[in-house]
Structure 1
Amino acid sequence: MKNKKIYLLFLFLISITLSSCSLRNDKKQDESNSFSDINSNLTINNKKEKKPKGEPYLVGVAPDDYNMDYDTSRLKSLNEKKSKYYPKDGVKGIYLNPYSVADPKKYNKIIDLIDSTKLNTVVIDIKDDWGNITCDFKSKDKDIKYATDKVIDANDFIRKMHNKGIYVIARITTFKDSVISEKHPNWGFKLNNGSLLVNGLGESFINPYMDDVRNYNLKIAELAAEAGFDEIQFDYVRFAEGFENISDDLDYSKGKWENLKMKDGDKRVDAITSFVKEAREMLQDYDTPCGIDVFGYSMQVGRADGIGQDFKEISNQTDVMSSMIYPSHWGFYSFDIEKPDLEPYELVKRYLKEEQKEFSEIEHKPQSRPWIQDFTASWIGSGNYMEYDKDAVEAQINAIYDSGQNEFLLWNASSKYTKGVDY
């Protein structure tokens, strides 16, 4: 009898427990529905957010608290970051050597060219090919002060350009830097004898693996964005040419990539790609587009891990991709053209066809804005080059338009451009 009483008591307690759980679940479901209804109308940055599976949002709790897959670096597209000076019919620009600005005759000639044509953009060095910072940004940073060689007044220059409706792009020579490597030899790559690695022109590269190096260039870009430049363009975003052939004989740090289980080539690619991502993310805070220069050859190779460039990976991380597709810079039979410099229209047309295909295969397609040539490449030898006159420059431009694109940049290192070109 005693056992029977205990058994009945046990059944009674189980019954109460199950009933209580059922009530709590019903109440929880009602509350859940209520929170869901409230939060379905909540938006962040005017965009509705996906709720994590299994749990509703709670009022006042940020999405990041749920460890959501929420890429804050892609909050704004290129169109949302364009300044009011971005040309409605597309960027049609020229490189302006900053030292030409100090020469009234050269400067006025360039301004007259822009005023009298459909050109609407200038690209000017704020960190030149040697590493000189050409604007005095009044920075307290000791390294930036060291490298500053005031050539132009950034605020005055931007104001004058904007008064004429000209879009202004600041070019930064990134990892080729003979100036700051003189102050910080450990930022460069050292040979066995302790000297810095230099190329055939006596120029040295600095180490993309190092945070100090990366942050130095990002600081310059940030100062340029604060000064009012419409866009920042990074050139030489790579390791030195042929780096993979000599890297084992060099003394340098691999930073946070040192102990990663990756091949050296993959480490270089990751270092370069991540820098481009960091630059774009930083500039997004200023609504300033990020552009990258690469040799057109990078697209054809695809993954040049020797210098750390993967064309698709970089393209996927930037807002604007400016491939240098100068006909003179291609080897014989590139794109099935025997002597590319002699066929500027075909070279540009065939390049862009392949580039468009590459861009179609990535998630975030950048704006294509190729660099084309307005110079004569006599150094490639008689019979292999031609005089780049009005017709040759126009041939490249026509190829761009015929490819369905409308943006381009013209390069001449001395800023001496051909007269009478129909842009």
Structure 2
Amino acid sequence: MLLSLLFASALAAQGVDEISTDEPLPRTTAPYLIPFPEALSPPGGSDFAPETVAPVDAPEPPPAPKDAKADKKKKGPDKRRGEDPSEPKESAYSLAMSTGPACRAVHLTSWIAGTGKSRRAFLDKLKGTVVNAVVIPLKETDGHVYIPGVAKASEFNSYRPAIPDPAALLKDLKAQNLRAIARIVVFKDNYLPKKHPEWAVRRPDGKLWLNQNGIAWVDPYQRPIWDYNLQLAVRAAELGFDEIQFDYLRFPSDGNTKLCRYSNPHHTSASAIENLREFLDLARKRLAHTKVPVSIAVFGMTTTAKDDMGIGQEISKFAPMVEFISPMMYPSHYARGEYGLSSPNREPYKIIFRGLRDAKARLKQHAPKLRPYLQDFSIYGVRYGPSQVRAQILAAHLQGVESWILWNPSNRYTWDTLTPKALGAAGMPVESLEGGTASVAAPGAGRADVLESTLPRP
């Protein structure tokens, strides 16, 4: 079963206030980050104070292989370095997908998005980069809703004024021709179960089920929960957001999930998958009059897993219903041994290249909908800077995936890496970056040298 551990306390104990790409973090055994208390991100605080230290719904790393020798025997000829002999052939440029305009986004925390001065300072940094979209959370894992005008949020007293004037936010985004993506956390909600325990995931004794961090979840089968989140989605679309991205559209994964009890007494993987499909179908119907598309964020390992991972996420079943699928492919969140790599966090190029290769095989004709979340934060003693971010973008590019979303919990991105000039120097065709279309150039002289020089060293 998937596990996650408390990381905020580990950071506090080591005197680390936030994740930054500027300095490496001390090593820690905690595989995940969780939200900091809301008090650390008040309106009017530091211009780039973190709202949360959690990557968007990220995959729990699978356990390392028990028999390392047996695991190595399964690998290819270059097993000691985790090399895949098919990669040179597969990264040749025939696999490019024509997806139309590429969507290259960064995630912006809601308290900064809703504060005029801080927001404008952030948007100034986007000028001259290839970024053409911004993802903004309108509802987070704490269960709070960050824009006004949602009737059920008022009823539940879950509104928090992070973005009190969404019209001003959208005006600033439109002024820079930026796609506004509203991110809505659906079923991980630590607030509503205390208001309506009858809508929560329960234990066999009827009490609230909590994960190992004491966090509750709402029951994904409960239709009132659907109505609540879709009311927020419709509100966002009618305000002028260009896309609705549903996150945590899944069942619980952390803690003793064997004790989870749902309102559907016949809960199975099949019923979980179908339940989430029905949610997406209803979302599309509720949003039809706005003509605003739907996207989803999913576990990174859904690109490789052969089943729903026990959480109801089967991306091939969701693909026909959404515009984009965004697996969280942070290299730091892959376990040792994954893809034959002893330290995935130090191999951003290989993780993204191989993960997207698997995703394309799984999604088939829907592969052009891929838009992965990529890592732009440092953790576990591995510094992520320009070369690591560039390596991920280039790996996606060589798999024909031109759309992506960068994640940094403190809104501090490697801006110098995100210019057409910088990415062009790394071997990406500048015309595809400036023109916003997915195109892949034929290999040219010296390209292998450029590629090798941009990749982080093991």
Question: Shift in Å at residue 218 of structure 1?
Answer: 1.2
Residues 316 and 336 of structure 1: CA distance in aligned 2, closer, same or farther (over 3 Å): farther
| Superposition map of 1:2-401 within 5 A | 89-102=101-114, 106-137=118-149, 139-141=150-152, 146-152=157-163, 153-192=165-204, 194-241=206-253, 246-247=257-258, 249-254=259-264, 258=265, 264-304=268-308, 306-360=310-364, 367-378=369-380, 386-401=382-397
Supply the distance in 1 between the matched residues of 2:401 and 2:309 (Cα, whole angstroms). 29
When you count helix as a share of all residues, which structure comes out higher?
Answer: 1
Question: Shift in Å at residue 104 of structure 1?
Answer: 5.8
Q: Which structure 1 residue ranges, 5 or more long, are not aligned?
A: 1-86, 379-384
TM-score, length-scaled by structure 1: 0.71
Supply the distance in 2 between the matched residues of 1:88 and 1:358 (Cα, whole angstroms). 21
Letter paired with 2:243: E
Q: Deviations for 1:180-199, whole angstroms, at most 9, x for unmatched residues?
A: 22211111122355542222
Helix, strand or coil at the partner of 2:418: coil
Q: Deviations for 1:325-376, whole angstroms, at most 9, x for unmatched residues?
A: 111111112222221111111111111111111121x6x5561110000001
Supply the distance in 2 between the matched residues of 1:175 and 1:358 (Cα, whole angstroms). 25
Residues 124 and 113 of structure 1: CA distance in aligned 2, closer, same or farther (over 3 Å): same
Q: Deviations for 1:50-105, whole angstroms, at most 9, x for unmatched residues?
A: xxxxxxxxxxxxxxxxxxxxxxxxxxxxxxxxxxxxx9741111000011235566
Supply the distance in 2 between the matched residues of 1:413 and 1:229 (Cα, whole angstroms). 22
Question: Shift in Å at residue 377 of structure 1?
Answer: 1.7
Helix, strand or coil at the partner of 2:281: helix
Of structures 1 and 2, the one scoring higher in RCO (CA 8 A, sep 6+) is: 2
Question: Shift in Å at residue 242 of structure 1?
Answer: 5.1
Q: Deviations for 1:203-222, whole angstroms, at most 9, x for unmatched residues?
A: 22111111111111111111
Q: Deviations for 1:9-31, whole angstroms, at most 9, x for unmatched residues?
A: xxxxxxxxxxxxxxxxxxxxxxx
Letter paired with 2:361: K
Supply the distance in 2 between the matched residues of 1:111 and 1:268 (Cα, whole angstroms). 39
Supply the distance in 2 between the matched residues of 1:192 and 1:231 (Cα, whole angstroms). 39
Supply the distance in 2 between the matched residues of 1:412 and 1:390 (Cα, whole angstroms). 13
Aligned length, in residue pairs: 320
Q: For residue 57 of structure 1, what is the aligned residue in structure 2?
A: none
When you count strand as a share of all residues, which structure comes out higher?
Answer: 1
Supply the distance in 1 between the matched residues of 2:213 and 2:257 (Cα, whole angstroms). 17
Supply the distance in 1 between the matched residues of 2:107 and 2:410 (Cα, whole angstroms). 9
Helix, strand or coil at the partner of 1:126: strand
| Contact kept in structure 2, 1:315 and 1:366, CA below 8 Å | no
Q: Deviations for 1:112-154, whole angstroms, at most 9, x for unmatched residues?
A: 22113121111001111211110002x3336655211121121
| Contact kept in structure 1, 2:277 and 2:318, CA below 8 Å | yes
Q: For residue 13 of structure 1, what is the aligned residue in structure 2?
A: none
Residues 162 and 104 of structure 1: CA distance in aligned 2, closer, same or farther (over 3 Å): closer
Cα RMSD over matched residues?
Answer: 2.3
Supply the distance in 1 between the matched residues of 2:100 and 2:126 (Cα, whole angstroms). 16
Helix, strand or coil at the partner of 2:339: coil
* Structure with bigger gyration radius: 1
Letter paired with 2:174: H
Supply the distance in 2 between the matched residues of 1:169 and 1:144 (Cα, whole angstroms). 25
- % of aligned pairs identical? 30
Helix, strand or coil at the partner of 1:237: coil
Helix, strand or coil at the partner of 1:141: helix
Supply the distance in 1 between the matched residues of 2:291 and 2:174 (Cα, whole angstroms). 17
TM-score, length-scaled by structure 2: 0.65
Q: For residue 422 of structure 1, what is the aligned residue in structure 2?
A: 418
